[in-house]
Structure 1
């Protein structure tokens, strides 16, 4: 399979690192990782698509080898989307954007607010902000599953997660999900990325900067501002790949997604949870390939 090459590029005056697989003249797939991962998390999927596509996986702001400012306000969605707009311009976009977990938030932001940069959108166990905020505020099962967000937002949570050789972060990573794919060799790579100065704070600042409101279990929030349905529309072809065993993001979070995506395709994958890209890379790559080829003019 194709091996990745490393690149460093200046985006909006700051240094960013990305991995690349495939030919430089092939159609671009831009892969956006989530927490607590990094660009290398896409290796299994990208290697399977590099015969047909130019696969680009950046370390997003605060992660890996990319710029990691300490200030919480530097991690607003506007700033995170701006990074990827600059990268897409560098790549000669528009591109197909693929997002997982927090990467899905940036991918949705690109599709909703910078649609000229996105030709197709693929989300893998990630959530649109409107249905997700609805469920975070409802006080139900998703509210309970997302209480860790409040813990992460506390000042100093990064020190607790890093203690004892990242024992807390690894427990958060594996909570109620299959981490059998995390070999000792891969764990060593992850810890090397988490150990870079300022990175763990940068990673957690994504949670601190988010405007999402999280209720207490059983106590719905009544003061959540209404979100504009027109403003939050995804107008390009949109594929959602969903590992049905996810315990961090529950199926209720994708109910009503079709109200925000007029050209939506949903594909469920059994035997996979939130870490579907590691557990079922062949299936994920196949679904992406079929979707892009079906929506190529």
Structure 2
């Protein structure tokens, strides 16, 4: 693994890289509450690719403005569009969790930068908003979102050596992979000044409407298929035991994609790239090899 910084639109961003410099590039986009170094498990099983994994805006050692307005999706996508142009387009884009939101944004609004799209337990905005608006199981599972948007959530998450942050997903999913030196590395990233606020501002800036369980959201804007299309080949890898994102969050995804392949992974949840990295890597390699 190599680390270095680069400037994107005048701001410093920290990058992690694995693999040969002349190999095909996979831009790997992490979610909450991870950072670029979180891709080390998967990268070790993809030696024939150059994995480029930035700390996204607000995370790790990258630029972390404190204004919620600086976390609008267009700005987050713009960061990574600038990085791809710097690397050399097009590239394979891989997104997990919030990284999937940026990956979909690149695919939909900057398709010339993306050769293939890979999503792992992440959601396209249209099917996800429909599932949230329905007031059913996904709505209930997503009640942590309004809580994370609240004032002072960063202080609660950081208290007692980040005990609440660690417990946020551990209650119903396997977090045994986050221990020892790895947990210490995560805590070091979380503890950087302003990073907890930056990380939470992704939730605060999102336009997603999350009603209370059993209630339906109405008056939502149209989510047109033509403007939110994924035109390139698209692989969705799904850890079946995810309790934060449920299968209903991807229902109807085919309507927005020209070429979608779905693969489910048993005995894995939201954190599948840590739990089964060898299997996930083989799925990625096989799918890319099919042309």
Shorter-chain TM-score: what band?
Answer: over 0.9
Q: Deviations over 1:148-199 (max 9, x none)?
A: 0000111111011001110110011313000111122111010000000000
SS of equivalent to 1:288: helix
1:66: how far off? Answer: 0.3
Normalising by the residue count of structure 1, what TM-score does the alignment of the two structures yield? 0.97
SS of equivalent to 2:7: strand
Q: Of 137, 140, 143, which residue of structure 2 is paired with 1:141?
A: 137
After superposition, the CA RMSD in angstroms is 0.7
Normalising by the residue count of structure 2, what TM-score does the alignment of the two structures yield? 0.99
Q: Deviations over 1:108-144 (max 9, x none)?
A: 0000000000000000000000000001111000000
Which residue in the other structure is 1:125 paired with?
Answer: 121
Which residue in the other structure is 1:216 paired with?
Answer: 212
Q: Of 246, 262, 266, which residue of structure 2 is paired with 1:266?
A: 262
Which residue in the other structure is 2:36 paired with?
Answer: 39
Which residue in the other structure is 1:243 paired with?
Answer: 239
SS of equivalent to 1:97: strand
Which residue in the other structure is 2:58 paired with?
Answer: 62
SS of equivalent to 1:55: strand
**Deviation beyond 4 Å, 4+ runs, structure 1:** none
Q: Is residue 153 from structure 1 mapped to residue 125 from structure 2 by the alignment?
A: no
**What are structure 1's unaligned runs of at least 5 residues?**
none
Q: Of 78, 83, 87, which residue of structure 1 is paired with 2:83?
A: 87
Which residue in the other structure is 2:13 paired with?
Answer: 16
1:101: how far off? Answer: 0.2
1:79: how far off? Answer: 0.3
* Contact 1:36-1:173 at 8 Å conserved across structures: no
The alignment of Structure 1 onto Structure 2 pairs a total of residues equal to: 291
